[in-house]
Structure 1
Amino acid sequence: MSTTAFLHGFTSTALLIMAIGAQNAFVLRQGLRREHVMPVVLVCALSDAVLLQAGVWGMGGVLLARPEWAQFMRWAGALFLAACAVQAASRAFKPAQLLVSANGPGASLRTTVLTVLALTWLNPHVYLDTVLLLGTMATPYPTWGRATFAAGGSLASALWFLTLGFGSRWLAPLFASPGAWRVLDAGTAVTMMGLAMVMVLS
């Protein structure tokens, strides 16, 4: 039972977390720049672990009982993602900013950590996927099974962000020119604005 719960948590979390989103795009960008990668990876993995634990042990029911919380998070997340999209688009379509973005010094550690925290905790889909969906999947298991489900999910999350953050350096040759960064930032802008629109319309 414990092994089954662990594998269930691992595979379910892996399938959900690999979808392209604002958080993954940010981790990829930091990995390509080799800038504050470990703090970003730690924030993402630890945040997922906390949210997964909350879902497994019943916070999903609390969120369902307080829909106004979800409403606030939806609008706050949409506004934040829209602002990030505008910033990414500005980098992509202004050559001077693009060169600084690709080759120059980036944001401070504090700004970077605050950004990834916002991308994680202001995203309503994190609560829907990690807290509600994964929490519901863990419900049929007994206490020990829920713990191992959460452990499997947390491991999948940690491995994914480690791979995305530190494995992206192998893509560095593809991003040796500003043009490649233009494509990445343009894609990031479209992704984030699309997610913001989905939040507003959902």
Structure 2
Amino acid sequence: MLAALLAALSGLGLGLSLIVAIGSQNAFVLRQGLRREHVGVVVLVCVVSDAVLIAAGVAGAGAAVEAVPGLLTVVRVAGAVFLLAYGVLAARRALRPPAVLEAAGARGPTSVRAAVATTLALTWLNPHVYLDTVVLLGSVAQGHGGRSWWFAAGAVLGSALWFPLLGFGAALLRPLFASPRAWRVLDGLIAVVMVVLAVSLVAGG
């Protein structure tokens, strides 16, 4: 039992180290949390997606992905295009004058369908997700032998802890984002992150 617990803790630590970083998925979850728009649904999609990918990696999908390099190339290009487009939209929001931003804040919230679609795209069109969860976590899990699923459970727990903390914890930062200028800065940073990630995906090919 102790060995199983250690495997789970190892999965938890590695899982957190991989997801607690500035990236497209985390940036979107943070923004939804600040706007208080469909946070629960967005967080759930992120956690379930991670769980599916981690389970696939432990089940051996990582070896299959490595055996078909062309698959990652296709995902890399599609992900780069999506990230670039999302970055452009964030840049447009950042460049709006404050008065327009205030008016935008009075609009109706983003639909659940749009929020889910964006979350799915930022998750499943990101090659780094496959490399981190399916390939890396899957490979490390195999090193734990019969306790690989304990390792996987720990990694999934990391996602289950992090995304709710990021999404719902963002409410604590709302006073900081009371002014339109703060939102422009956030969207500007998100735009930079998205564009840099898109370029890195293409360059990494």
Name the TM-score, length of structure 1 as normaliser: 0.96
Structure 2 SS opposite 1:35 = coil
Return the alpha-carbon distance in structure 2 between the equivalents of residues 200 and 87 of structure 1.
Answer: 20
| Aligned Cα root-mean-square deviation (Å) | 1.1
Return the alpha-carbon distance in structure 2 between the equivalents of residues 71 and 140 of structure 1.
Answer: 27
In 2 relative to 1, CA 103–25 (structure 1 residues): closer, same or farther, beyond 3 Å? farther
Structure 1: stretches of 5+ with no match in the other structure:
none
- CA deviations on 1:146-182 (whole Å, 9 max, x unpaired) are 1111111111101100000001000000000000000
In 2 relative to 1, CA 101–51 (structure 1 residues): closer, same or farther, beyond 3 Å? farther
Return the alpha-carbon distance in structure 2 between the equivalents of residues 68 and 93 of structure 1.
Answer: 38
Instruction: Indicate yes or no: 2:62 matched with 1:60.
Output: yes
1:13 corresponding residue in structure 2: 15
Map 1:78-97; keep pairs closer than 5 Å. 78-95=80-97, 97=100
Shift of 1:62: 0.5
1:24 corresponding residue in structure 2: 26
Structure 1 SS opposite 2:170 = helix
Structure 2 SS opposite 1:183 = helix
Identity %: 55
- CA deviations on 1:66-107 (whole Å, 9 max, x unpaired) are 111101000000000000000000000012553345453232
Name the TM-score, length of structure 2 as normaliser: 0.95
Return the alpha-carbon distance in structure 1 between the equivalents of residues 18 and 66 of structure 2.
Answer: 20
Return the alpha-carbon distance in structure 2 between the equivalents of residues 30 and 98 of structure 1.
Answer: 16
Return the alpha-carbon distance in structure 1 between the equivalents of residues 80 and 100 of structure 2.
Answer: 24
- CA deviations on 1:114-161 (whole Å, 9 max, x unpaired) are 000000000000001111111111111223x11111111111101100
